[in-house]
Amino acid sequence: MADCLLVRYAANSFEERGVAGNEFQPRSVTANPRGRNREEWSQAVKDPVQKPSPWLVAGLQKLVGDLQKAAAADQYSLSGRVCGSTSLLSFPADGVSYLGCTVESLVQFQRFEDVAWLLLHGQLPCAEQMSDWESQVSESAVALNESIGETFSLLPVGVRPVELLQLSMSLLSFFDPAPNDACVESSVARVCRILGQLPELLNYAINGVRSKDSAAASTELAELSWSGRLLRILRGGTDVPTLEEDAAMNTLMICQCLTEMRPACFSARATAAATRSLMAALQSATSVFVGQTINDPWQWTSELLRSFLTPDQAESWYRSRESQGMPFGFAAHVPDARVRLLRESAGTLLGSVDRIRIAAAAVRLEKILATGNQLPTLDWASVRLMTLLDIPADRQALAIGVARVVGWSAQAIEQQKSGISLLPALRYGQEE
Q: What is the pLDDT of residue 424?
A: 85
Q: What is the DSSP string of 248-290?
A: HHHHHHHHHS--SS-HHHHHHHHHHHHH--HHHHHHHHHHHHH
**How many domains does the structure of the chain reveal?**
1
Answer whether residue 38 is part of any domain: yes
What is this structure's pTM?
Answer: 0.81
Residue 31 located in a structural domain: yes
- Cβ atoms of residues 141 and 200 within 8 Å: yes
Contacts of 29 (CB under 8 A, 6+ apart): 38
pLDDT at 347: 95
- Asked if residue 95 belongs to a domain, the reply is no
Name the residue among 210, 260, 252 with its Cα closest to residue 231.
252
Rounded to the nearest 10 degrees, the angle between the axes of helix 243-256 and helix 396-418 is: 40
Residue 20 lies in a domain: yes
In a domain, 60, yes or no: yes
Does residue 293 contact residue 310 with C-beta atoms inside 8 Å?
A: no
pLDDT for the residue numbered 75: 72
Q: Report if residue 21 sits inside a domain.
A: yes
* Residues of the chain below pLDDT 70: 1-52, 67-74, 211-220, 334, 431-432
Per DSSP, the three-state class of 11 is: helix
What pLDDT does residue 38 have?
Answer: 56
**214 within a domain of the structure (yes/no):** no
pLDDT digits (tens, 9 = 90+) for 266-322: 999 999 999 989 999 999 999 999 999 999 999 999 999 999 999 999 999 999 987
pLDDT score of 220? 62
pLDDT tens digit sequence for 332-358? 876 789 999 999 999 999 999 999 999
Q: Is residue 50 part of a domain?
A: yes
Q: Residue 237: its pLDDT value, please?
A: 81
Residue 5 CB neighbour total at 10 angstroms: 14
Asked if 318 and 399 count as a contact pair (C-beta separation under 8 A), the reply is no
Q: Which domain holds residue 46?
A: 2-68
Task: Please give the order of strands across the beta sheet that includes 97-98.
Answer: 89-90, 97-98, 101-102
